Structure 1
Amino acid sequence: MADQPVKGPASYFPSIEKKYGRPIAEWQELVRQKMPAKHMELVAMLKNDHGMGHGHANAVVAHTLATERG
């Protein structure tokens, strides 16, 4: 099982860390600091305030919100 590829939003994490130079934990903390907020408001914050692309921002927000919900 451990050798199966990562799927879903987390599959973007290596490229996000490489492109934007910050660990995913930092991006997730930025999202948590703005909660509660709507999904697309959080995506817009990452895009507008940090220059993140839409797909990457959406992946970070989706994964963070899913983790927070449990």
Structure 2
Amino acid sequence: MSEDKVKGPASYFPSIEKAYGRPIAEWKALLRARPPAKHMELVNWLKQEHGMGHGHANALVAHMLSEDKG
């Protein structure tokens, strides 16, 4: 049997956790604790305040916003 490969923004999660030392749930909690903001405002906040790369920040924000949209 072959394992289903994780696709989309979640495929970045292992490298985000490894590179920045926090679990994904913690990153999402930090984002959700912020005042409501647009996608790119949240991406830029992660980049500026936490030194996250653009691809990682974008994937994390996209996944979190998708979850919150329901």
TM-score, reference length from structure 2? 0.94
Which residue of structure 1 aligns with residue 48 of structure 2? 48
TM superposition outliers: structure 1 runs of 4+ over 4 Å: none
Distance in 1 (CA, whole Å) between partners of 2:31 and 2:8 is 18
* Structure 1 residues not aligned, in runs of 5+: none
Q: How far off its partner does 1:55 sit?
A: 0.3
Q: What is the rounded CA distance, in whole Å, between the counterparts of 1:30 and 1:48 in structure 2?
A: 14
Post-superposition offset of 1:35: 4.0
Point out where structure 2 has 5 or more consecutive residues left out of the alignment: none
The match for 1:67 is: 67
Question: 1:11-70: CA deviations, max 9, x gaps?
Answer: 000000001010000111111111410000000110000000000000000000000001
Specify the SS of the correspondent of 1:6: coil
Identity of aligned residues (%): 70
User: Greater shift after overlay, 28-37 or 4-13?
Assistant: 28-37
RMSD: 1.2
* 2:9 aligned with 1:9: yes
Q: Which residue of 2 aligns with 1:20?
A: 20
